[in-house]
Amino acid sequence: METVVAKRKQTAKWKKISLWAVASIVALLLIVLMAANYYLNRSLPALDGEVSLSALSESVTVVRDESGVPHVQAENEHDLYVAQGYTQAQDRLFQMDLSRRQASGQLSEVIGESALDTDKYFRTLGLRRAAEASADSYSDLGMDALKAFAEGVNLYIEELRDNGKWPVEFTILGYEPEDWTPVDSLTIGKYMAFDLGGHWQNQAFRQYLLQEFPEEKAYDLFPEYPEDAPYIISKSDLDLSKAFAGAVIPHEFNGSNNWVVSGEKTASGKPLLADDPHLGLATPSIWYQMHLETPDLNVSGVIFAGIPGIILGHNENVAWGVTNTGPDVQDLYIEKRNPEQANQFLYNDEWEDAEVIPEPIKIKDKDTLDYEVTVTRHGPVISDFAADAGSDTVLSLQWTALMPSAELEAILNMNKAKNWDEFEEALLQFESPAQNFVVADQDGTIAYKANGKIPIRKTGDGLLPVPGWTDEYEWVDYIPYDELPKTVNPKEGFISTANNKIISDDYPYHISHNWAQPYRQMRIQEVLKANNKLTAEDMMELQMDEKNLQAEEFVPQFVGLLKGVDQEQQRKALDLLSEWDFYDRKEEAAPYIFNIWMTKIGDVLLADSFSEETLELFSGRKAAIDQLLQRALDGKPGPWIEEKGGLEEVLIQSLDLTLAQIEEAEGKDMDKWAWGDFHQVRFNHPLSSVSPLNYLFNRKGGIPVGGSSVTVKAAAFEETGLVNHGGSWRFVMDMTNPDDAYHLVGPGQSGNVKSPWYHDQLEAWADGTYHQTTLKAPAGEKLILKPGGSGK
């Protein structure tokens, strides 16, 4: 009995100890969470009150409206750009530093060896070298703006050095940013040219096709059959399957939609303009929305964090938007290296010395890497950085963005334009990347111009790499500015672009072989043609339009070919597709089946023939698959389809793969399948790939969304279903009221995880809820920046 009592007492004692231990752990966790919350809140910037900044000559007012948009009002432009730099740094300093580091090839210094290949690639390209060379292209006024902006950024960095309230990302990675310079801003500008800028990887891929496959099969994946026999690099000269391992390839769907409508087709009688650039969807947004005002300037819109001015938006007189023209402004040159002198290359029967540029790369917790870049007369040798540098045949890259240019000065002049003529004059300095500008002004003019530096070649047309040892394939000039594609006040009453082919076959100059699939442009035109009383609400609705014209083209033909299938799931899937109205709604099964099916068709045709690394070079893959299908449906199947047993067999195989994938994820009951269960947006933070930082930086779970890569509501997705690319900013302008415009910047304005504007536009982005931003003084938190010593 005494033993039982003792045991009970002992058990009770351990229960008390256990409860005490649990309570202690909970209390400790609460303390840790409170401390972490305090630390995160501590890094929030001051948004009201007064701050003294030594670089100012007069006071500047910064009001953040209910969407977190800073409205910066200054008495002169110098103070305006100081305040713009300071304000951007308050919200986006870590993003700004990461952007300049990526573009400059300096990520390894703070991330470590895992970023080394990326750094090597960007050091090889030389975006920072091009930015440094561009500085002399700027006028005193342009350079003054860049310097003032840098002063503002540095004043905020100086504050953080004094008070230690660094954004948490710097603490996690264990470093502090260096001072900002004008070249940093120019380098970020060059990076955007990289993101939108060219098709060298397609040239390399086509050359690989000719190395590895019979001509007929290689040509079947070309955007068009070449008239002249191409120059072929033998595999023994240069193995293209290895030459670009580790290359950073911009997203296939880096494009946009824009359109402008004449007052003849609007309810108000004034023009309407809409723009939604399609770029990566991440936290923070690639765009930063601002309103800038002085007595001589009043402009609102978005800019890349780290750059002064407004690149897209409107002032009181003019509104504008862009899409990517996608011209062939990059050429790969096949260079013959002197086997006895590695830094010499053949040109017109003589060996020429290449420039060898030291690019030492600092690596966190490692020794500095003594890296070198070789630059021929055409540009950097880009096949060396990841492959065997001893090869006697290499590929160099000539590219307009690696030349000196002054796009940021063009932006500052665009901001002040009072009409289309002044805007077009400002565009003269906007050379790279080439963009499709649409413009509306208060006079009622609507206009379009494909603007940028596009080369004229002595021989060749950018389809394949060309010999670099002769002057036969040199660039001899650029398309004259006055002869770039342009239209003003067309009789149709509207102008639209969606990265589609922009020229007729009789245009005298070559622009590109690489155009986007036409479905977004077809849908935009379909809607604009059908309505002569268009409103801003119609424009927003069109930006969120989920009609899939690719499905409308292919589904009836696919169903017709497969009407004899005998498996129950196949029949049910085809029945669902037959009844579908071709809208990619998130609640429905049909878009789930169709969009995965199109992906699987590509896998069936290509996956066995190429490594994943090689397919990365094939950025026109989806358009090529469309082309193969269209030919086959027209009774002219090419070798890729014939060798897989014909079109019907390709469709059955890919449909089975589609159904197997969806069944594994969603179960066999097709009635419960929904596109949005797979197709979801998250806006991931760059540090969220490291667990458990995803819980800090990312919204829990994803948001189901409709649309796809071919709908006007662009929502391209990865194999996992993650929507990582689409309308990164949506903008609609009604020139009836030039003071106000409609905007969407997903996921929000701020890069600070504790800010109310960090992820406040996530749901808005998914469902199309726009906010209005005014050129007038708004209500909101007001910060006064005063001349004087830096500090609170």
The enclosing domain of 606 has a CATH number of: 1.10.1400.10
Q: Is residue 711 part of a domain?
A: no
Beta strands 722-727 and 297-304, pairing class: unpaired
In terms of C-beta density within 10 A (0-12 exposed, 13-18 middle, 19 or more buried), how is residue 29 classed?
exposed
Average pLDDT on 295-300 reads 98
pLDDT tens, residue by residue, 729-769: 999 999 999 999 999 999 999 999 999 999 999 999 999 99
Average pLDDT on 502-530 reads 92
- Whole-number pLDDT of residue 9: 63
**CA nearest neighbour of 655 among 574, 733, 728:** 574
| pLDDT beyond 90 at 242 | no
pLDDT tens, residue by residue, 322-342: 999 989 999 999 999 999 999
| pLDDT beyond 90 at 231 | no
Q: Is residue 659 part of a domain?
A: yes
The alpha-helical segments, DSSP class H, found in 164-219 are 168-173, 182-196, 200-212, 215-219
Q: In which band, very low, low, confident or very high, does the pLDDT at 505 lie, cut at 50, 70 and 90? A: confident
The enclosing domain of 394 has a CATH number of: 2.30.120.10
pLDDT tens, residue by residue, 543-599: 999 999 999 999 999 999 999 888 999 999 999 999 999 999 999 999 999 999 999
CB 686 within 8 A of CB 231: no
Q: Is residue 669 part of a domain?
A: yes
- The count of domains in the chain is 2
Q: In which band, very low, low, confident or very high, does the pLDDT at 488 lie, cut at 50, 70 and 90? A: very high
- Whole-number pLDDT of residue 240: 64
| pLDDT beyond 70 at 243 | no
Q: Is residue 349 part of a domain?
A: yes
Q: Is residue 524 part of a domain?
A: no
CA-CA distance, 542 to 523, in Å (whole number)? 9
Residue 299 CB neighbour total at 10 angstroms: 23
Residues of the domain holding 614: 549-677
- Whole-number pLDDT of residue 32: 45
pLDDT tens, residue by residue, 348-407: 999 999 999 999 999 999 999 999 999 999 999 998 765 555 578 999 999 999 999 999
Average pLDDT on 633-652 reads 97
- Whole-number pLDDT of residue 11: 63
Last residue of a domain, one of 402, 418, 433: 402
pLDDT tens, residue by residue, 174-201: 999 999 999 999 999 999 988 886 788 8
Q: Is residue 788 part of a domain?
A: no
- The larger pLDDT score, comparing residue 92 to residue 689, is at 92
CA-CA distance, 39 to 167, in Å (whole number)? 10
Last residue of a domain, one of 351, 374, 402: 402
| pLDDT beyond 60 at 20 | no
Share of the chain above pLDDT 90, in %: 80
- The larger pLDDT score, comparing residue 48 to residue 701, is at 48
Last residue of a domain, one of 351, 379, 402: 402
Q: Is residue 290 part of a domain?
A: no
- Whole-number pLDDT of residue 29: 45
Contacts of 747 (CB under 8 A, 6+ apart): 283, 284, 285, 683, 699, 758, 759, 760, 761, 762, 765
Q: Is residue 44 part of a domain?
A: no
| pLDDT beyond 60 at 19 | no
**CA nearest neighbour of 82 among 57, 100, 111:** 57
